[in-house]
Amino acid sequence: MDVCHYDVQVKTAIKEQKAEAIVLTDDGMNLTAFWTRLLCGCGTDGRFEPVYVMENIIPLFDKSFNYEIVERESWFYGEYLQAFYTPEANKIVIRDDVYERALAGVALDVITIAHEVVHCIQSIVMRFLNAMQCVEFKTAICSNDSNEMQQHELQTDRITSLVLSPDSLTEGKTDNEILQQYFINPLIQFVCGLIKTAGKNLLEALNDTNCYNEVKEVERCAV
Footprint of Zn ion (CB under 5 A) = 153
Quote the CA–CA distance of 102 and 111 in Å, as a whole number. Answer: 8
* Nearest to Zn ion of 59, 87 (CB atom): 87
* Nearest to Zn ion of 39, 113 (CB atom): 113
* Nearest to Zn ion of 97, 153 (CB atom): 153
- Residue 83 beta carbon to Zn ion: minimum distance, rounded to whole angstroms: 9
Give Cα separations from 142 to 49, 149, 157, 202, 209 (angstroms): 30, 7, 18, 41, 48
- Residue 164 beta carbon to Zn ion: minimum distance, rounded to whole angstroms: 15
Burial class (CB in 10 A: 0-12, 13-18, 19+), 33: buried
- Residue 157 beta carbon to Zn ion: minimum distance, rounded to whole angstroms: 8
What residues contact 95, with CB distance under 8 A and at least 6 apart? 69, 70, 72, 75, 82, 83
- Residue 177 beta carbon to Zn ion: minimum distance, rounded to whole angstroms: 31
Question: Using CB atoms, what's the residue nearest to Zn ion?
Answer: 153
* Nearest to Zn ion of 69, 81 (CB atom): 81
